[in-house]
Structure 1
Amino acid sequence: MSKKLQNLYRHLINNRKHHLIGWYKSYKDITGAVQKVKTALENSENSIDLNSKELYAETYYSKSDNPYDVFIKDLVYEKSNGVSSRGQSVLSKENFNSFKEDSLFRETIKEIILQPDFTGFEKLKKYWSDREVGNNPVLINRIMGAATLDVTTTVDNGKFDQVFKWLQDRNLIPTYNATETDWFHKNKYAISEIREGLKDLWNDDEVEIDDHWIGLFYWEIYTNLSNPFSLKKQVVKYGAPGTGKTYNAKKTTELQYELWCGEIEAGSDITYDELVKVVQFHPSFTYEDFMEGLRPTIDNQNQTQLALQNGVFKDLCIKAGKWEKDLIEQKIINKNRKWEDLKVEDIHSYKDKLNGVHWEFIFNADPGKKLESIVPPFFIIIDEINRAELSRVFGELMYCLEYRGYEGMIKTQYSHLNTDSTGMIKIGEEYRFFVPNNVFIIATMNTIDRSVESFDFALRRRFRWEEVQPDTSILRYHLTENTDKPHFKNWSDLAKNLENLNDNIRNQELLGKDYCIGHAYLWNLNYAENSSVSEVRKAVWEDNIQPLLQEYLRGTGREAELLGKFKKSFSLN
C-alpha cells in the first residue's frame, strides 16, 4: 500500500506545495526556534530559567526586548503559531499572563522542549487541569507539535482521529493495536508509519519531502480526503474579488479526480471533462436552465414546438446517478440500506443484473472497499452563485440537497412530462429525481456583491461556507519561483506591498476585509522584463488597484483622502 500513500503525497503535497509554502515556512520557523532554545538549554546549566534572555540569542526572538514573552506567546497564545491555528480553543489573556509568570509552567515547558515525550505531555495536561482554566487540548497538542516533529500538525483530537481511521480503513497504515489511545501515542504511531510508507520518496529528485512536509501531509488528508467538503457535499467559497475562488474550485475538482483514479485498480475510460461542469449564474438564469423546462425545438417537419428539456444540473445528476439508480431499481438500496453502507463485495451477487459497461471497473475493484470511494465523483462549479434568484433556480432541489439519493427522491415541477429520455428514475408510473451522493456542488461568490441577500437562511444552511482570503504567500511563491518568468523575482516586493495595503483596507470602517485586493490582481504582470519594481508597482496601481478602490469609495465623500492613504501603504508616494 506504500505506492498509494506515495501517490497521495505527490498529489496533496508535491503538486500543491505552492499553496502550502507559507504554512511550511511558518512551521519550520517555530520548530526551528524551539530546537535552538533546546540547544541553548542543553549547553547551559540545568538551573537556568526559560525566561533567561540568553536562551534566545540564536533565534529571531532575540530582536525583542523580552524574547521569552514573545516566544511563549507564539507557543501558547497566538491565533496561529506555525503549527496550527488555535481554532475555538482560547486561553484568556489573564490566564495566559498568569501561566507565563508561573515558574512551574516555565519548568514544564522547559522539560517538554528538552524531552518532548509522553511524560511531559501528561505533565502539561495536569498543569492545565489543575488551574481550572477550561479544557484546551488544541493548545496543549500544538505546544507538543512545536517541540517535536514526531507528531502531526493536526492538533484537534476529533480531526486527527478521523484521518487515523481513514488511513487504517484503506490499509494505508497498519491497524493500531496498542492500548494507549491518547493523541500523543497515536500521533507518534501515525507519523512513524507514514514515514515508513514514504521512505522511497526521499531518493526521488522530483519530490520535495521532509518531516515538516509530512506533518502538513496529515492535515491535507483531512481537508481533502477523509473529510471531503466537511459535513456538506455543497460548498460556497466566498471572499473578496481576485482571491482565486474559481481557480481554487477547479483545482479542487482536478485533485479529487486524480485521487479517484488512484483508488480504482482497473482502468476506467471516464475522463475529467465528463465529471465536471462549470456554469455561471446571472440575473436571468432560471429553474428551466438549471433543472428542466419547456423549450422551443424544431421537429421533423421543421415546425417549432415546445418540448421538455433538461437543464445543466439535471443532466449532470443523470450521468452521475446511474450507479445509484441501478441499485435503487434492484432494491439493493432501500429504507434500511444506504449508499454509504455498501462495499463492493455487497453487490457481487447482483453482477448479472448490474451488467452495464459502467459497472465493469467497479467489479474489478478491491471487494472490501466502500462503493462510494470507487464510483467517480461528479462536480458542478457554479460561478457567481449569488447573482441569480436562487429560490427560483433551485426550486424543490432545496429538499434534495439536504436528503441525497434514495431518501431525497422527489417529483419535479415537470415530472408528468418526463419520458425515458428526460427522466431520471421511474418509480411505478411516475418519474422521480434525486441528487446522487457522488455529486458535489462548489459555488463561488464575491462578498462585496450587493446581491448577497439572495442567499436566504434555508439555502445557506445547506451549504458549507469557506472564506477565501488574499494570500500573499502564494503570490510571493509565484513571483520568486516562477521558472517561466525568472524576472518576476525582481518584483517580489509587490507581495509585501499588497499585504500592507490589505492591512490598511481591513482597518478602514468604510471598507473592511471584504474589500481587500485579491492576489490575482498581481498575478499576470505583463510588463517589460527590464522594468524596475517601482515601475511595475506604479503600473499595477494605476491599471488594476486604483480603479477598483475608486469604485469602492464612490459616494463616500472620502475618496481622495483614503486613496492617498491606500496609495502610500502600497509604497507609492
Structure 2
Amino acid sequence: MNGADQTDWKDSIQNLKRAFIGYDDTHQFGKKFKNEVRIGDVILIAQGQNSNKKFFLCGFVDSHAKYERVKGTPDVAQNRKLKFTIPKERLNQLGLDFNNSTWGESRQPATLYHLKPNEVEADHEIVRLLSAELNQQIIKQLMENIKLSEDRQFQIKVLWSKFKDGIKEKNKDINNQQIESVINEWSLYKDKIINDTLSLDEYTNILGSHTATMPGGYLCNFLERTTRVVLGSSKPGNAENFEVKLNNDNQNYFIKSLGKPNANREEAEAYFNDTVKEVVSSIVMASDPLEKIRLVGGANYSAKQILMKLAVLDSLKDFLYMYSSQPIDELYNEFIDGDAENDFEKNHQVCIVAKELLEVNDNDRGELILLSRFLWTYVNSKAIADRDNPNVIMYGPPGTGKTYTVVNSLDFVCQGDSSRYEVLQFHPSFTYEDFIEGIKPKGVSKDGNIRFELVNGVFKNFCIKAKKSPEKDFYFIVDEINRANLSTVFGETLLLLENDYRHNGDDSKNLIRTQYATLIEDLIKEDEKAYQHLAYTIDNGEVKFGVPKNVFFIGMMNDVDKSIDAFDLALRRRFKWIRKDCDYDVIEENTRFKDKDDFINMDQYIKACEKLNNYISEDLGLGKSYEFGHSFFMKISHIAKRKEITSNNAGVLFDLHLRPTLNEYLRAVFAESELDNRLNEALSRFKDAMR
C-alpha cells in the first residue's frame, strides 16, 4: 500500500474500531486471521521496529472474519470488529517494551505474530500491561452504558447498605471460613487438573464409595454441592449432563455425547481422557476471565453451569455466583445497555458494574459472597411485581412458599420499613365496608344505643398513605384472596386497579366517586377537621377515590380451594398470575441434617418426593394443584436421626405431615372404602423410592 493508503487504513482502524488484513484466506496470514483468531482473543495493531513501535488500537475480537469493503475504508480486506478498545494515545503511554518479545521486526502491517506470555518473559509483561488496561476500558465503557437512572442507582446503593448491615458478624465469619475451606479443597483438584493426574474416579463416583476420597467425594459433586454453600447452586438439571457419569450399579457409565447409557469402564476412561479432561483443564489453566468466558461458551459440554462454577473458583472477583439464565438476563437488561449474548459474559459484565456501583472490595471474599446473594435477592424480589404488572396473584399447592416468598421479598425491597406494606387475610365475611369504606358500629352512646360511624376500609387507608409518598413503592398483600366474595369486596373500585386507570397524583384523571362519597362530603362540611381523613382526595369540592400508581397489589391463594371460582373473568384479566409449584431445588439446597450438614442420599430423597407427587397428580388423577409443596418435604430435617434418610424416616414424615392432608384431598374424589388403599399405596411409593 502507498503512503496515502496507509494513512487511510490507520484512520479506518481507529475510527471503525476494527482489525483489517489485506489478504484473503488463500494467503497464509489471511488464512490464520480467519481460522485461528477467535472471538474473545485480544488483537494489538502496531507498526515499526520493536525499539520504536507505534500503536494504533487494541481490543477484544467481537466478530468472525469477513472479506469485504467496509464503508469508510480504502479497499477490500478481511476485517474483525473489536470491542472494549484501547485508543492509540493510551497505548503509547503504557510503556510497552517489545525488545526480546516474539513480535518480529517486520514493518509490514499485514504480518501476524502470536505472543507467548507463558513462555517468554517480555511477552508476559506486555500481556500483563494490556490486560490491566483492557480491564479498565471494560469498566469505563460499561459504566458509560449503564441503563440505571441516578435515582435507581441511589436506591440500589441504599438496599445494598441495608442488606450488608443486616448480616451478623458471626455469619460473616462463617462465610469467610467456608470460602477459605472451599478454596483449600479446590486446590487439591486444581493441582491434579494442571498436572493431568485427575482420574475418572475423582471426576465421577458414588458418595460413600471407598474410591470417593476427594473433597465432596468427587469433582462433579464438589462443584454441584460442596461449593454451593458460598458459591451458589450450579445444579446441571440432570447428572447425565456431566457427560460421563458412574451409574448407580457402581460398575457401568452413562456417556451422554456417545449415547451410551451402559458403557464399560474402558469406554468411560477413553472418553474422559480424550474429551472431558481437555474441557476442564483448558478452563482451569486460562488466567483471563474473558478467555474463560470464551472457553465455557464454546465447550461441547451440556452442564454449562458446572463449567461456569469451575471458572468462578479461580476468578472469585470476576463473576457473580449465579449460573441460571433468567436472573442473569434480568440483571443485565436492567443494568447495562449492551449486546452480550453469552450468559457468562453477561454475568461478568453485571459483576463489573455492580462492584463499581456499590464500591465492593475485590480482595474481600466475604463481601463478594454478599454481593452475589444481594443481587440474587434483588432480582427475585423484583420478579414479584413491577410497574408493567402492578397486580399479581401467586397461586399453587399448599406449602410452596407463596407467603414466605412475598413477605421476605418485600421486607428486602422496602428496606425493613413495614409501613410500606400491609398484609391481611381474606375470609368469607370480609366485605366492601372492611376494604373500601362503610358504616360500622363504633361503641355505645350515652343512652345505651349502638353508635354507628362511617369509617375507611383497610385498602382505602393504605391508598391514602401511599398517595402522600409518591416517591416510594407500597405493597398491599392479601393472603387467601379467593376466600372472600371479590366482586362485592372491590365494588366499583375494581377498574382502578388496572395499570391504565391508576391515579398519578397530579391531576383528576382516574378518580371515581364511591357509594359513600356524598355522605363524606356532608360530614366534612359539618366538621372538616374530624372527617377530612375519610377523603382520598377532594376534586372541585367532590370527594373522590383512586388507586395510586405506586401501589402494588399482591394476592395469594391455594388453588386446591374450590373458591378459586370467586375469580370471575373481570377480575382474572386484571392480574398477572404466577404459579408456585413444589421446588425440588429448594429441598436440596435448604434441607440439612440438624440444620447443618448435607444428607448423603439427598438425590434419592428428592426422587422419592417426585414419585409421590407424580402418583398424586397423575396416577390418582388429582392434578398438580394437589401435589405437596417443598415445605412439607423439608420437615425430614427434624425426623432423620442420621445423615442418611431412611425408608422409615419417609414413613414417619408421611404419617405425621402428609397423610392427613392427602386423606382430605381423596375424600372429595373417592369412596370412603377406597381411602385406606389409596393412602397406603401413596405411602408405599414414597418409602420404596428410599430403599
- TM-score normalized by the length of structure 1: 0.59
User: Quick one: which amino acid aligns to residue 518 of structure 1?
Assistant: G
Say if 1:482 and 1:567 are closer, same or farther in 2 by CA, change over 3 A: same
Distance 1:122 1:494 in 2: 35
| Contact 1:12-1:217 at 8 Å conserved across structures | no
**Cα offsets for 1:92-124 (capped at 9, x unmatched):** xxxxxxx9679xxx9999779835876897899
- The one of 462, 471, 477 equivalent to 2:574 is 462
SS of structure 1 residue aligned to 2:619: coil
SS of structure 2 residue aligned to 1:436: coil
SS of structure 2 residue aligned to 1:277: strand
**2:349 counterpart of 1:189:** yes
**Cα offsets for 1:480-522 (capped at 9, x unmatched):** 3537xx9x98998996454542243344251232112234446
Question: What is the deviation of 1:539?
Answer: 4.2
Say if 1:163 and 1:563 are closer, same or farther in 2 by CA, change over 3 A: same
Say if 1:237 and 1:228 are closer, same or farther in 2 by CA, change over 3 A: closer
Q: What residue number does 1:431 align with? A: 543
Question: What is the deviation of 1:299?
Answer: 7.1
Q: What residue number does 1:405 align with? A: 503
Alignment of 1:288-303 (within 5 A): 288-298=433-443, 301-302=446-447, 303=449
Say if 1:515 and 1:528 are closer, same or farther in 2 by CA, change over 3 A: closer
Question: What is the deviation of 1:384?
Answer: 0.8
| Contact 1:112-1:120 at 8 Å conserved across structures | no
User: Quick one: which amino acid aligns to residue 502 of structure 1?
Assistant: N
Q: What residue number does 1:556 align with? A: 670
User: Quick one: which amino acid aligns to residue 191 of structure 1?
Assistant: C
Bigger-Rg structure (1/2): 2
Say if 1:107 and 1:416 are closer, same or farther in 2 by CA, change over 3 A: farther
Q: What residue number does 1:164 align with? A: 335
Gapped regions of structure 2 (runs ≥ 5): 1-153, 176-181, 208-219, 225-232, 239-255, 260-273, 313-317, 522-531
Q: What residue number does 2:123 align with? A: none
**2:485 counterpart of 1:389:** yes
Distance 2:641 2:541 in 1: 72
Q: What residue number does 1:234 align with? A: 391
Question: What is the deviation of 1:465?
Answer: 2.2
Q: What residue number does 1:453 align with? A: 565
Say if 1:82 and 1:119 are closer, same or farther in 2 by CA, change over 3 A: closer
- The one of 421, 426, 432 equivalent to 1:276 is 421
| Contact 1:243-1:471 at 8 Å conserved across structures | yes
Aligned length: 436
**2:597 counterpart of 1:511:** no
- The one of 308, 315, 318 equivalent to 2:464 is 318
Distance 1:405 1:541 in 2: 50
Deviates more, 1:226-235 or 1:118-127: 118-127
Say if 1:229 and 1:14 are closer, same or farther in 2 by CA, change over 3 A: farther
User: Quick one: which amino acid aligns to residue 511 of structure 2?
Assistant: M
Distance 1:490 1:182 in 2: 37
Say if 1:298 and 1:62 are closer, same or farther in 2 by CA, change over 3 A: closer
Deviates more, 1:112-121 or 1:418-427: 112-121
Alignment of 1:231-380 (within 5 A): 231-258=388-415, 272=418, 274-298=419-443, 301-302=446-447, 303-304=449-450, 306-324=452-470, 372=471, 375=472, 377-380=473-476
User: Quick one: which amino acid aligns to residue 242 of structure 1?
Assistant: G
User: Quick one: which amino acid aligns to residue 556 of structure 1?
Assistant: F
**2:109 counterpart of 1:7:** no
| Contact 1:163-1:221 at 8 Å conserved across structures | no
Q: What residue number does 1:565 align with? A: 681
Distance 2:281 2:573 in 1: 44
| Contact 2:397-2:560 at 8 Å conserved across structures | yes
Bigger fraction of residues in helix: 1
User: Quick one: which amino acid aligns to residue 159 of structure 1?
Assistant: E
| Contact 1:380-1:441 at 8 Å conserved across structures | yes
Question: What is the deviation of 1:312?
Answer: 1.4
Distance 2:585 2:279 in 1: 34
Q: What residue number does 1:221 align with? A: 378
| Contact 1:37-1:56 at 8 Å conserved across structures | no
Alignment of 1:11-50 (within 5 A): 43=196
**Cα offsets for 1:65-111 (capped at 9, x unmatched):** xxxxx99xx9xxxxxx947889xxxxxxxxxxxx9679xxx999977
Say if 1:409 and 1:297 are closer, same or farther in 2 by CA, change over 3 A: same
Say if 1:379 and 1:494 are closer, same or farther in 2 by CA, change over 3 A: farther
Q: What residue number does 1:202 align with? A: 364
Question: What is the deviation of 1:474?
Answer: 4.3
SS of structure 2 residue aligned to 1:199: coil
Q: What residue number does 1:95 align with? A: none
Question: What is the deviation of 1:450?
Answer: 1.0
Distance 1:251 1:520 in 2: 15
Distance 1:443 1:301 in 2: 42
Q: What residue number does 1:47 align with? A: none
Question: What is the deviation of 1:424?
Answer: 0.6
Q: What residue number does 2:520 align with? A: 418
Q: What residue number does 1:350 align with? A: none
Distance 2:299 2:605 in 1: 42
Q: What residue number does 1:482 align with? A: 595
SS of structure 1 residue aligned to 2:574: coil
Say if 1:528 and 1:11 are closer, same or farther in 2 by CA, change over 3 A: same
User: Quick one: which amino acid aligns to residue 59 of structure 1?
Assistant: Y
Q: What residue number does 2:242 align with? A: none
| Contact 2:292-2:311 at 8 Å conserved across structures | no
Q: What residue number does 1:114 align with? A: 282
Question: What is the deviation of 1:570?
Answer: 2.6
Say if 1:124 and 1:323 are closer, same or farther in 2 by CA, change over 3 A: closer
| Contact 1:238-1:245 at 8 Å conserved across structures | yes
SS of structure 2 residue aligned to 1:570: helix
Distance 2:631 2:594 in 1: 16
Distance 1:533 1:304 in 2: 63
Question: What is the deviation of 1:425?
Answer: 0.5
| Contact 2:396-2:580 at 8 Å conserved across structures | yes
SS of structure 2 residue aligned to 1:323: coil
Distance 1:37 1:507 in 2: 46
Distance 1:5 1:429 in 2: 41
SS of structure 1 residue aligned to 2:388: coil
SS of structure 1 residue aligned to 2:422: strand
| Contact 1:236-1:464 at 8 Å conserved across structures | yes
Q: What residue number does 1:342 align with? A: none
SS of structure 2 residue aligned to 1:400: helix
Question: What is the deviation of 1:385?
Answer: 0.8
RCO comparison, higher one (Cα < 8 Å, 6+): 1
Distance 1:222 1:13 in 2: 19
Question: What is the deviation of 1:470?
Answer: 3.0
Question: What is the deviation of 1:445?
Answer: 0.7
**2:204 counterpart of 1:60:** yes
Say if 1:524 and 1:39 are closer, same or farther in 2 by CA, change over 3 A: closer
User: Quick one: which amino acid aligns to residue 398 of structure 2?
Assistant: P
User: Quick one: which amino acid aligns to residue 248 of structure 1?
Assistant: T
Q: What residue number does 2:213 align with? A: none
| Identical columns (%) | 27
